[in-house]
Amino acid sequence: MAVAEAAPVRLSLAERLSRMIAQDGPLSQAEYMAICLHDPADGYYATRPGLGAEGDFITAPEVSQIFGELIGLWAMEVWRALGKPPRVALVELGPGSGALTSDLMRAARLDPDFLSAVELWLVEASPILQARQFACLSPHAPRFASWIDDLPEDAPLIVVGNEFLDCFGARAFVRRQGQWLERRIGLDETGCLVFGLAPPPSGFVGPVEAPEGAVFETSPAQTAVAAMIAQRLVAQGGASLLIDYGRGTPELGDTFQALKSHQRVDPLAAPGQADLTVHVDFPGVAGAMRAAGAQVAPIVSQGLWLEGLGLHQRAEALACARPDLAGALSRQVARLTAPDQMGVLFKVLVAHSGLSDMSPTDEP
């Protein structure tokens, strides 16, 4: 009688990471972050991306519909500055719940010609979020919504990325006794994941002046994505809008964190089960886009940028139409613009090429 073969034991992501490190050596922080977020079987975005009040984090489109509406007005201005082409690819990078694009498309109804010119493209790796986006955007699909892993090549581009670049990991270096050492993830004597320090890669040059214990982060992945976007803008014409929490000037500091149920947790405790992020290096991103040939507007705070687009006027109009929502709208505006909330920590970077009118990128 044949004996049934035992089913293979399925290892957790933590177990697979431990085996990988035991075999190949410690991982850089950026490598660890990429695996935890994007592993096709157990990565965070493959299994449990949690947006909104009931999830792990909340983004600006979930705070207020006004956020997406104002970005819709910005997109229409870009299209006009492009000369009103009959076809334009409107691309959202990492659309999350789909709320931003839904609100953007509602604002786009103000200009039927723009609406008829728009082809909507969504860059999203998570099957779970793709399903959520389709449900949110069903009024616009299938005419508009197409999921891709790259930017379209045959039309001018309007690219929007809200809290997209922060999921691209950064390598971290720590100052010890006058030298820079790289923070890496290895194993302790019990086989558990642990932070450690190792010599930096060949050719690494960090800041010369830094105090003992300082942390320096650099993200080649963020700058590579930014350069690719800029190259496409130069080749096809258009503009990109990148909004994220991050640095507006070069700074030292450790920004690596894990979020679960809106609380910070140990990033090594449960790989794949928490959202991992780092602050965006906006000066590095801006420099990469300029080097690729795009024109880049000054980095500004989210609060100033939204106010320049008419955030308060839109909130007042909604409050007049729905006085019962006036209090909620006031809290939403504060969440988006107050210095102690999202107003200063979040930055806005606009890059463009081929625009006849510079107004869509003017600093408020």
pLDDT score for 357 = 59
Q: How confident is the model at residue 363 (pLDDT cuts 50, 70, 90)?
A: very low
233: in domain = yes
Q: How confident is the model at residue 248 (pLDDT cuts 50, 70, 90)?
A: very high
Interatomic CA distance for residues 307 and 13, integer angstroms: 44
256-283 burial, b if ≥16 CB within 10 A, otherwise e? bebbbeeeebebbeebbbbbbbbbbbbb
DSSP-assigned states of every residue in 227-288: HHHHHHHHHH-EEEEEEEEEESS-------EEEETTEEE-TTTSTTSSEEE--EEHHHHHHH
Q: How confident is the model at residue 244 (pLDDT cuts 50, 70, 90)?
A: very high
Query: Comparing C-alpha atoms, which of 328, 329, 346 is closest to residue 337?
Result: 346
338: in domain = yes
Instruction: Quote the percentage of the chain above a pLDDT of 90.
Output: 66
CATH code, domain carrying 153: 3.40.50.12710
Report whether pLDDT(241) > 90: yes
Domain range for 116: 49-170+220-255+277-361
Tell me the mean pLDDT in the region 237-243.
Answer: 98
Lowest-confidence range among 132-146, 186-200, 309-323?
132-146
In angstroms, what CA-CA distances link 266 with 185, 257, 274, 316? Answer: 13, 8, 9, 42
pLDDT score for 137 = 81
Report whether pLDDT(79) > 50: yes
Of residues 324 and 359, more confidence is placed in: 324
77: in domain = yes
Tell me the mean pLDDT in the region 81-92.
Answer: 95
Interatomic CA distance for residues 48 and 69, integer angstroms: 28
138: in domain = yes
293: in domain = yes
Average pLDDT, the chain: 89
Lowest-confidence range among 38-42, 138-142, 227-231?
138-142
pLDDT score for 152 = 86
Interatomic CA distance for residues 215 and 200, integer angstroms: 13
Report whether pLDDT(339) > 70: yes
204: in domain = no
41: in domain = no
Report whether pLDDT(1) > 70: no
- Tell me, what amino acid is at 312? H
Of residues 55 and 209, more confidence is placed in: 209
Q: How confident is the model at residue 45 (pLDDT cuts 50, 70, 90)?
A: confident
Number of structural domains found in the chain: 1
pLDDT score for 148 = 73
102: in domain = yes
Tell me the mean pLDDT in the region 183-193.
Answer: 94
